[in-house]
Amino acid sequence: MRYFVFFPFILFLFSCNESSNNNDDDVLNRKQMLSDYADYYIIPKFEQLYNDLDLLESNLIEINSTEDISKIDEFKNQFLVSYKSWQYVAFLNFGPAESNSLNNICNIYPVNINKINSNIESGNYNLLSAINTDAIGFPALDYLLFADDLNEEFNFDNANFKKYISDNIALMKSRVDVCLKDWKGNYKISFKDNDGKSVGSGLSMIVNSINRYWEKDLRDGKLGIPIGVRSNGVVLKEKSEAYYSDYSLELLKASIKGFSEFYINSDQGLSLFDYLYNRRNEYGDGKLHQTIKSNFENILIRVESLQGSLSQNIDQNNQELLSIYQEFQKQIVYLKVDMPSILGVSITYQDNDGD
C-alpha cells in the first residue's frame, strides 16, 4: 500500500519538472543571475561612465569660461578616466545600449580626421548622421586633444573647435543617461524575467554580446589589426584605438579587467562563473569556469608586463604582441564554443572573416 501512494507522487513531481519553464536541469537561478548582473555590474558601471563624462563636461566648461591653460592637463586626464570607464560597458551592446547606438556614438575608430576638420571649419554638422559615425565620440576627442598638428593650447580662439568638443561630450553623456535610465527602469524587469536560453533571452544576449566584442572589438580591433594579423603582417598603428594620445595599451588593459570583473560579477552577485561552476559535472573535467577565469588573469598579466605604449611595442616588441594575440585566440574557444555548449545557448552573430 505504501508503494502505491509513493509512486504516483514521484510521477507528479517528474511531470512538473518536465513542464517547468525554468529548465530544472540548471541548478543556478538564472533570473537571479540576470538581476544580479543588472544590480551589481551593469547599472553601477553605466553610472560610473555617466559621472565621468559629467565631470569631463564640467572641466570643459571651466576651461572655456576661464581660458585657464593650466586646466587643460586636468581635462586630458579626465578624458582618459572617461575612456577607461567606457571599456567596462562597451561589451554590453544589447538592450538599451544597442537601441541607443551607444557603440557607434562613443567609439568607432580609426577616426576620420578630414570629416572632423570639415565639420569644425563649417560649424554645420549633425553628429547623429551616419556620415559622421567615424568623426565623433572618444576617437574624435582623442584626435582633437592630442594630435601633434593641432594647437596644444586648446585653440581658444576657435569657437567652432571648442563647440565640436563640447557637442561630442554632450552627445555621449545624453545617450549614456538614456541607457542608464532604461536599465534602472522597465528594461531591468524585462531583462531578468526573460530568463530562458532561447535567442533573445537575457542569457543569450549576454553570451553573444561578450563573445562578439571579445572577438571583433578587443582581439582584432584593439590588438590584431594594429599589429598586422589582418593585413598579412603589415602593421597598421594608425588604426589603433586612441592612436593620437597613445593610450591604446591602457584602454586594452581596462577592457580585459572589465571582462574579468563581469565574468565573476564580484562577491555579491551570481555570474557566468557561478553558472558554469554549477554545471561543472556536465562537461569535460568540470573546470571550465576556472579555466576561463585563469585565462583572463594570465592575459592581463601578459599585457601589464609590456613596457611603454602599444605603438612602441609594435615597433620594438611585435613578436610578443603576436604571442599575446594567440592567448586572446585561445580564450575564444572557451567563450564561444565550450561555454555556450554547456549553457545551452546558441551563438547567433555572424563571423565572416574566420578566426
DSSP letter at 306 equals -
The domain limits of the chain are 23-343
What pLDDT was estimated at residue 21?
37
Residues with Cβ within 8 Å of residue 276, at least 6 apart in sequence: 288, 289, 292, 339, 342, 343
* Per-residue pLDDT band at 8 (split at 50, 70, 90): very low
Q: Please state, as a whole number, how many other Cβ atoms lie within 10 Å of the Cβ of residue 266.
A: 12
Query: What's residue 22's pLDDT?
Result: 41
Q: How far is CA 110 from CA 107, 136, 138, 146, in A?
A: 9, 11, 11, 14
CB distance 248 to 241 below 8 Å: yes
Residue range 115-167, pLDDT digits in tens = 999 999 999 999 999 999 999 999 999 999 999 765 555 676 789 999 999 99
Dihedral angle, C-alpha 282, 285, 290, 292, nearest 10 °: -80
pLDDT digits (tens, 9 = 90+) for 180-194: 999 999 999 999 999
pLDDT tens for 58-76 read 999 998 888 787 888 999 9
Lowest mean pLDDT among 6-15, 235-244, 274-283: 6-15
Q: Which CATH number fits domain 23-343: 3.40.190.80, 3.40.50.10860, 1.20.1420.20, 1.10.10.10?
A: 1.20.1420.20
134, 112 Cβ separation under 8 angstroms: yes
| pLDDT tens per residue across span 328-347 | 999 999 999 999 999 999 99
Write the CB contacts of 138 (distance below 8 Å, at least 6 apart in sequence): 79, 82, 83, 86, 106, 107, 172, 242
In the chain, the amino acid numbered 103 is: N
